[in-house]
Each structure stands twice: as structure tokens, then as C-alpha cells.
Chain A
């Protein structure tokens, strides 16, 4: 019940295209859903996060779409750039008990072709 399933495992997009990464969760106690961006040899950096009281959050070229009933959320990167090439992790966390720890998805390696 702690799992967060992420897909696809890898994604190749042309410059200027839209990158879409999907995640699904099972634990209804989760109430905080961040996305992290990680470059090789670096720690993850918080990109954007959402709480389930809204269905969408946008920050610049990055948008999270959240579907509470389906227990799914996705990251959309508009006008993808080569500099966006990195590994992206979705995560989820709740307020109580074991759900208080961040549970990470398996990661998506994004390559944006110039």
C-alpha cells in the first residue's frame, strides 16, 4: 500500500515537445505529492508539489495534474528543452504513521533531443 508506481521508465522527446510522466498510488493517507528532478551525480531537487485539494498546479513550464478519484498524478513539461534532460521522481507522503515518509516512484529518465 506504500507503493508509488511511475511510468514510463524512460522517455525521449524532441525539443519543444511535451514530456508527460505518470504516477499512481494506493495509500489514501497520502496528501502531499512532490516531483523531484535529479541530474547525474547530484541530489534530487524539488521541482513542484501538489496537495489533493486542487486538480492542477502550474509553475512555469511544469504542471502537475492530479486525479484524486483515480489516485493518479502526472507531470507535464511544456516546451521541453535539452536542459530538462534528467531523471524525474514522483513521490507521495501522508501525515500519519509510516505514510509520513516520502515514498518515491521508480524514476523516469527523460532525454530531450536538440
Chain B
């Protein structure tokens, strides 16, 4: 199946710093990428959807100036958490769908990035 990678897998940073998380589709062209946030023992919460070359669409309640999303190519999307605070600590998961042999746009998930803000 299709592979989506994320980097880093975990990051610890000080409050006030910015953190960039990369999401790559390794063997297909990801026309759409999604960023989710997941709290312990909770379901996935969609933060934003981005199409290659266009601005991301953010879900209600998600601060676009705090969570900067760039989808510059068909294989790479980045999420930057700006001026991170302890409440931003969470598990961030990207997902991608696109042209990959299937009739329907199956959505594949990355392994997630654990962010801890001290």
C-alpha cells in the first residue's frame, strides 16, 4: 500500500519556540493532505486540509496563524506550530490521498509526531 512518512517522530521544545513537522508521500502523488491532532485515548480531530499549490482550509477553532500549513509539492506538506505552548502538546498525524491506482481516493496516514512543549 501507499506510504506516508512523518518527521520527526517526536520532538520536545521549549515554550515560545516554533516546530516544523514534515509529511511526505513516498510512492504516490498526494493531491490532498490532511493534518490531524489526537489527544490521549481520543479520536482524530481534523485541523486542516490542503491541496497542492493552494492555501490550506482550516477547521473551525483552529488558529491558522498558529498552525501554518504549506503544501508546496505533490509529495510534501509541512505543519509549523508557531510560538508553541504547553497546551499545544499533542500527537499530530498527517494523512494523504491522491492519484494512486485506485478508483477512490483512499486516505493513508503517517506514523504521527509526538510534540511535547515544556
- A residues near B (Cβ < 8 Å) are 32, 34, 36, 41-46, 49, 89, 93, 101-102, 104-107, 109
Contacts and interface: CB of A to CB of B under 8 A. Distances in A.
Interface residues of B, number: 22
Given A89-B43, A107-B42, A101 B112 contact: no
Interface string B76-118: 0000000000000001010100000000101111111010000
A101 B108 contact: no
Contact of B109 (A32, A41, A44, A109): A44
A108 to B, nearest CB: 10
Contacts, number: 46
B114 A41 contact: yes
- Does more than half of chain B's interface fall in helix, strand or loop, or is it mixed? strand
B111 A109 contact: no
Contacts of A109: 41
Given A104-B44, A107-B42, A46 B112 contact: no
